[in-house]
Amino acid sequence: MGLGLSVSNQLFWFIQLGFAIAAISIVSGALAERMKLWSYAIVVICFCGFMYPLIANWVWNPQGWLAVRGFNDFAGSAAVHAMGGFSALAAAMVLGPRIGKYSKDGTSNTIPGHNLPLASVGAFILWFGWFGFNPGSTLGAVGNWELIGSVVVNTFLASASGGIATMFYTYYSHGKIDITMVINGVLAGLVSITAGCNVVDPLSAIIIGFIAGILVDVAVLFFDKMKIDDPVGAIAVHGINGLFGTIAVGLFANESGLFFSGSTNLLITQTIGVFTIIIFSFSITFILMKILKKTVGIRITSQEEEAGIDSVSFGVKSYSNE
């Protein structure tokens, strides 16, 4: 047994491996279609070998400084999603936008995805997988059925609420429902509830998810106006809503949240914790990307980007030209 947990070191390592993979996959979404494969591999090694283990130790080791303060991040809104999202922000800033994303006059051009039905299926798979991600973070199912039930219900309600909020928001803003943003709204709801799914009630979960579903739309437009190219909205979904979801614990937690207890102690702890994680992950990633840019390079050539990164990196085309 390790770290005072009720699971073996091997099992805990495997769980954290999955979390680390989830976190670095967020970064890959913001760098899609334009980063050198081997440069990204170096980022993965540094992220998963150094950055994530350090932050996970702060949050989930009972002796970690955030854990000692009472920081509540049940399944990783801060340690996985905010970390991955703000690392993605730093990396995308250094890497630059895709060819054709922004015109000379500063306007943004939509670069449509290849297959919307496939993207939707992927979203449902990810949605389903979250019910392993969040409830599985209890680390011990036997004797914790009430907790697991609460986590499952809150996870579902927040995700559904996020999707519904985005449906209404995009319809109100554009006159039509944007299905690509509805996908992100569902994911935003999932991200936002991941920190506090063990300590909030179902109504609070619905409210948190609903706010996240609107926040992701606003954040996508904000970063687009800042000319930060994020092909899948990873920064808005994971970074911004990881930040919001972590702070929301300090507001909505049943026993110690500000809205229920009147105390700001947990809110202060949550705020200190998530901003420390954000500053650390953003700074280290920004420095690493700058070093890689000056040494081995991070960007494929314009000719390679036009040809498609799959054919350049792997020697095969992923999609037909038809």
**Residue carrying the six token digits 């944007």:** 178
Q: What angle do CA 146, 149, 150 make, to 5 degrees?
A: 90
Contact 306, 315 (CB under 8 A): no
Q: Helix or strand or coil: residue 232? A: coil
How far, in Å, CA of 220 to CA of 202, rounded?
27
Written as six digits, the tokens of 138 are: 């209890």
pLDDT in tens, 62-84: 999 999 999 999 999 999 999 99
pLDDT tens digit sequence for 193-233: 999 999 999 999 999 999 999 999 999 999 999 999 999 99
pLDDT-derived band at 115 (thresholds 50, 70, 90) equals: confident
Contact 42, 102 (CB under 8 A): no
State how far the Cα of 322 lies from the Cα of 320, in Å rounded to an integer: 5
> What's at 200, amino acid-wise?
V
| Chain segment 154-193, per-residue pLDDT in tens | 999 999 999 999 999 999 998 999 999 999 999 999 999 9
Tens digits of residue pLDDT in 136-157:
876 655 557 788 899 999 999 9
* Residue indicated by tokens 């702890």: 269
pLDDT band at 1 (very low <50, low <70, confident <90, very high): very low
- E strand or H helix at 34: none
Query: Based on the number of CB atoms within 10 Å of its own CB, is 261 exposed (0-12), middle (13-18) or buried (19 or more)?
Result: middle
Per-residue pLDDT reduced to its tens digit, 265-307: 999 999 999 999 999 999 999 999 999 999 999 999 999 998 8
Angle value at C-alpha 182, between 178 and 183, nearest 5 degrees: 120
pLDDT at 322 over 70: no
DSSP letter, residue 134 = T
CA 126 to CA 116: how far, in whole Å?
15
If one compares 94 and 115, the residue with the highest pLDDT of the two is 94
Nearest to 23 by CA among 233, 249, 283, 238: 238
Task: Give whole-number Cα distances, 11 to 50, 129, 144, 188, in Å.
Answer: 20, 18, 18, 28
Q: For residues 111-127, give the mean pLDDT.
A: 90
* pLDDT, averaged across the chain: 92
DSSP 101: S
Q: Which domains does the chain have, with CATH numbers?
A: 9-313 (1.10.3430.10)
Residues 6+ apart with CB under 8 A from 88: 26, 27, 29, 30, 31, 230, 234, 235, 238, 239
Position 5 scores a pLDDT of 52
